[in-house]
Structure 1
Amino acid sequence: MAFEESFITVDGCRTRIRRGGKGPTVLYLHGANGAPMIQPFMEVLAQDYDLIVPEHPGFGMSDEPEWLDNMQDLAYFYLDLLDHMKLDSVHVVGSSMGGWLGMEMGIREPRRIKSLTLVGTAGVRVPGILPGDIFLWDAETAARNTFFNQDIAQKVLSMAPDTEEAQDIMLKNRETVARLAWQPRLYDLNLPKWLHRIQAPVKLIWGEQDKIMPLAVGEALQPKLPNATLQVFKNCGHLPQVEFPDEFSASVKQFIEGVK
């Protein structure tokens, strides 16, 4: 499935967009590592959906706007982006920080979100459960803690940035993640107060061996959301969409098709 690349300017921020497929619109919100390439699960989803894959402000080839201070800023930006693209409502799939972002959007404009798929999502603190400290890990530790399948971790390590431009983008991504989620680490104390405003059906997808956002976070989050189910992938780390792309895509499709 071919994806078209474009750049659009919203709120003064030139933003990279990849878009492919036809059907109901799905907005994919990436996590801390950005979305530098179209991955296999995206290709699968684009067989049934109009899949939009932006790079967040401050990530990848998108601008670094001065106004970006927190996740709430990012949520308002994406609601403006939906207005700019003339999209009244969308299905949102958010991974890790992208899931946190999806919840922030759903709280602010619940009717804009048809469904919300949250994959190993950040954003909510669970007492006694510490997320992996991605800010302290070196590249090898991060890769090996991200995936249960160490063959995938090794492949990721073998693809380490080898050009100055790629290294600059990696540093840019890390700086933006720190700006948005350094303190407090990967959560917002105020977020749980407003989760009841999310009206859309929610599917939580988690890797049983997630070392970044432990499964206990998903188990604690599910009852806080008005209409949420939890699916757990065994023998899987933080990114089920990478370790099990076909199964993940089938699960998302089944969920979206069940939304009225």
Structure 2
Amino acid sequence: MELRRQQQHGFEYVDEGRGPVLLLLHGLFGALSNWEKVVAEFAPDHRVIIPVLPVYDAPLLQATVPGLAAYVERFVEALALPPMLTLLGNSLGGHIALVYTLNHPERVSRLVLTGSSGLFEDGMGGSFPKRGNYDFVRERVGYTFYDPAIATQELVDEVFAVTNSNAKCLRMISIARSAQHHNLAGELHRIRVPVLLVWGLNDTITPPPVAHDFARLLPHAELRFLDHCGHAPMMERPAAFNRDLSRFLRGPAASAMA
């Protein structure tokens, strides 16, 4: 399905369906289209919202994980979203979701993390994109997936365009370094909501041991691995991802566990 963007209060976002709110957060190289299969599956009985995170145009001092979490906070307030959201985050989006939950535990009922940073991340295969090197960018984007064919030319072209902009690349590097340095291991015990971890068994950016660490440190976490899957399960294994998410949403929320 084609996702329809809208603008309000200075924010750009997707807002589809009605019902309990699912707030989806994309990663550093992510796009709204990463969540198309999730929106198609859940919009019939949920309100699915995806803000466009300002990863390439935020003020430089705010191009950090805490800065982006503050952006989500302003977004939630501007749209007057109801309390007890379900937050879903992929990669950097999961890291932002964790920080938001730590800062606003009263607003989050469930948390879903897939390939999340926050403990460890081998971003871009251990190196930052090389400006003007298309082959390098294509290789690194393919590194995200178990099946490199999912890294379409359109996706590679989009990332290449970013790396050819000095301003965008500077912000991307700032955010990537913030994600690598902003370790949450000592704080995860404070997250008391139910957490679903859906992880690619072949994820090379946040490898399976990272998922096991999250499961150990989060008090109410359950972990599901998807085989033949890399760093973006909702793109590479959408049917299995949606099945695990649907089952999780039928379970108890934070208020029911209190």
TM-score by length of 1: 0.83
Aligned length: 244
Greater fraction helix: 2
Deviation, 1:149, is 1.7
Q: Which residue of 2 aligns with 1:218?
A: 211
1:90 paired to 2:85: yes
Choose the corresponding residue for 1:152, options 150, 172, 177.
150
The code of the aligned residue for 2:191 comes to: I
Instruction: Determine what percentage of the aligned residue pairs are the same residue.
Output: 26
Deviation of 1:169 (Å): 8.6
1:22 aligns with 2:18: yes
The structural deviation recorded for 1:246 is 1.7
- SS in structure 2 opposite 1:192? coil
Change in 2 beyond 3 A, CA 1:196/1:159: closer
From 58, 78, 82, the equivalent of 1:64 is: 58
**2:161 alignment partner, one of 154, 162, 167:** 167
Partner of 2:171: 176
Q: Which moved more, 1:116-125 or 1:31-40?
A: 31-40
The TM-score, its normalising length taken from structure 2, stands at: 0.84
The corresponding residue for 2:198 is 205
Mapped contact 2:63–2:171 kept (Cα < 8 A): no
2:231 is aligned to 238
Deviates more, 1:174-183 or 1:193-202: 174-183
- Where do 5+ consecutive residues of structure 2 fail to align? 131-135, 254-258
CA contact (8 A) 2:122 2:204 kept: no
* CA deviation after TM superposition for structure 1 residue 257, in Å: 1.6
- The equivalent residue for 2:251 is 258
Aligned runs of 1:80-159 on 2, under 5 Å? 80-87=74-81, 88-125=83-120, 132-133=125-126, 135-136=128-129, 138-153=136-151, 156-157=152-153, 159=155
2:58 is aligned with what amino acid? Answer: E
Equivalent-residue separation in structure 1 for 2:95 and 2:162 (angstroms): 25
In 1, distance between residues paired with 2:108 and 2:147?
Answer: 33
Deviations along 1:177-214, one digit per CA (max 9) or x if unpaired, are 3112225x62413x222212212100111101101111
Q: Deviations over 1:220-256 (max 9, x none)?
A: 1211111101100011111111111122112112111
TM-aligned CA distance change 1:84 to 1:170, over 3 Å: farther
The whole-number CA distance in structure 2 between the counterparts of 1:141 and 1:23 is: 40
CA deviation profile, 1:52-93 (whole Å, cap 9, x unmatched):
01111234xxx5235514211221221222122112231000
Q: For the residues of structure 2 that align with 1:204 and 1:168, how far apart are their CA atoms?
A: 29
**1:5-20 superposed matches below 5 A:** 5-9=5-9, 14-20=10-16
SS in 1 for 2:180: coil
Measured after TM superposition, the shift of residue 144 of structure 1 is 2.2
Q: Deviation per CA, 1:98-132, whole angstroms, max 9, x where unpaired?
A: 0001110111111111110000111114xxx9563
Matched, 1:50 2:47: yes
Are the equivalent residues in 2 in contact too, given 1:203–1:230 (CA < 8 A)? yes
User: 1:123-161 CA distances to partner (integer Å, 9 max, x unpaired)?
Assistant: 114xxx9563252572222222111123323xx135543
CA RMSD of aligned residues (A): 2.6
The residue type paired with residue 139 of structure 1 is V
